Structure 1
């Protein structure tokens, strides 16, 4: 069952006469009890997409759907939507008011939505977030907590509204390595126990491997590759995905991308990744006869299908036998690690 969906979503910003296409045609679904990782480097549009799914940005075209119903932008509709779809920010220190106790921080949402049994909600949310006994934390302030405990308070603040979807923007980026695993395990436990769905926004493919059911890789406002996590991260087809994976510690040879970082005000013709593409630069695209297409023919917008799909002229042109051999080799390599 699809809970949250982006359908041909486009978001634009205009500044000093320049139009930035931050999200430039995205189809994405998050199903019931599913964790989807949205991956990409800074500036690719993933945070703007997440904010739009929350109703914090209004799309230029396309639509956001929740439970199959398009999101309306009246105050009442947005209020109801944000109770069902809650945001978890990456910096717990910045998202918690230092003058508010843990109780006040978690109770803020139920008070805004005028929900009954405030004390019980706060205690239950803290307990589900792993802060037990919850009463022990009621009167503490953020500076009295560890980084992991502060992130659990932020998660508890979302859980206090009984949402069905969490949108977590870099949920462990500011945490020590020793605490990251605890927070990821908590998100998985909430999915298993409460049936929560989650969209996890991250630049870290290692995090996606540990937590996600599906991965969507975003570059310059579009999803360029998506599919089941095992398929995408063991046998990536898009050169951008390959470059992101190559910086993981287990990778034998990192790919250094040339060219300029993505600029949403200057989207190149053809494949939007071609100015930095290592496949095009190496001559491999010319060998398959698609180098001209890479620089001239735009690629179609990927659908919201859960099956593996890629927007790449070179990947589409490679013989099926070569693709199978590459996928089999990648799978063996991951198992060996």
Structure 2
């Protein structure tokens, strides 16, 4: 089978912010290569503060890169107002908190129709809103038109947010922690909805999450991010059943169904304005601390040599001297 074309890509992407009190700049995104193919769901996972949301904002054109570029359909993103407006019709954002992203004074109809009005839709607005609500699983849609957010359940509110994205018929959605604020009983329904939208509409998605269990249930591929950079990527089954990077192993070890004892990471939480020389994970790496990296002959490399930036290829990749030494050995 021929691989689907890449729809959205980041190429050597960097986003930095001014440092506090004149200190060194914060390297929120520090050389990321990532591709999302047509009809593919990619999960971007990592701890809070690792740069996931900044990367997502850069991919949406909400944050202008310091270096590198974002490309859609093979063309670099144009940051003029008109071009960005057209781009955001094709790539839509779904936020994690439906209560915060819905105006309490707007009815469901107005919330979903807002995007149509911004983009000066010339078709039948009522039909488009009804179809979007129906696709999001709110049926019959007319029953929800005049309701307000406080009259809906959390799952229904999240479906309204998704309908607001679908009404413009985008090719890709970026979902930032799409089920984080929902009860466990509702999460499965929203994940099933996203999978159904991929099947029925050919929709692509980037799902930003700290939850590896969610990634397992929804994604085709996973990209693990640490301190501004992707450190492991590949097919979700491969990465989550046989993780090679010590950071991925630590994230997986704390899941309830994980075998063995949880890996507790030591050291300070990562600071994007003070990225260590060598592997950026080495100050907290249990492999280095245990002496395993020393026995593999890579401890010095871990402390002094920055692993190469992973490419946007779909092949499994890892940015870890120890993991690569194990394969070579």
2:37 is aligned to 31
2:104 is aligned to 98
1:254 is aligned to 262
Q: Does 1:162 align with 2:169?
A: yes
2:114 and 2:22 map into 1 onto residues whose CA distance is: 39
Q: Does 1:68 align with 2:70?
A: no
**3-state SS of paired residue (1:216):** strand
Q: 1:320: Cα distance to partner?
A: 5.3
**3-state SS of paired residue (2:18):** strand
Consecutive unaligned residues of structure 1, counting only runs of 5 or more, are 322-337
Q: Does 1:56 align with 2:93?
A: no
**3-state SS of paired residue (1:50):** helix
1:113 and 1:60 map into 2 onto residues whose CA distance is: 29
Which residue, 4, 22, 38 being the options, matches 1:17? 22
Alignment of 1:297-316 (within 5 A): 297-316=305-324
2:222 is aligned to 215
Which residue, 76, 83, 106 being the options, matches 2:89? 83
1:277 is aligned to 285
1:227 and 1:210 map into 2 onto residues whose CA distance is: 15
Q: 1:224: Cα distance to partner?
A: 0.2
1:211 and 1:291 map into 2 onto residues whose CA distance is: 36
TM-score (ref. length: structure 1): 0.94
Q: 1:17: Cα distance to partner?
A: 1.6
2:103 and 2:233 map into 1 onto residues whose CA distance is: 37
Q: 1:49: Cα distance to partner?
A: 0.2
2:22 and 2:309 map into 1 onto residues whose CA distance is: 26
1:5 and 1:301 map into 2 onto residues whose CA distance is: 15
Which residue, 160, 181, 206 being the options, matches 2:188? 181
2:308 and 2:111 map into 1 onto residues whose CA distance is: 44
**3-state SS of paired residue (1:293):** helix
Q: Does 1:264 align with 2:272?
A: yes
Q: 1:319: Cα distance to partner?
A: 4.5
2:132 and 2:314 map into 1 onto residues whose CA distance is: 32
**3-state SS of paired residue (1:201):** strand
Which residue, 12, 26, 29 being the options, matches 1:8? 12
Alignment of 1:109-128 (within 5 A): 109-115=115-121, 116-128=123-135
Which residue, 51, 55, 58 being the options, matches 1:45? 51
1:35 and 1:253 map into 2 onto residues whose CA distance is: 30
Consecutive unaligned residues of structure 2, counting only runs of 5 or more, are none
Q: 1:101: Cα distance to partner?
A: 0.3
Which residue, 249, 252, 257 being the options, matches 1:245? 252
| Per-residue CA distance 1:257-278 (angstroms, 9 max, x = gap) | 0001111000000000000001
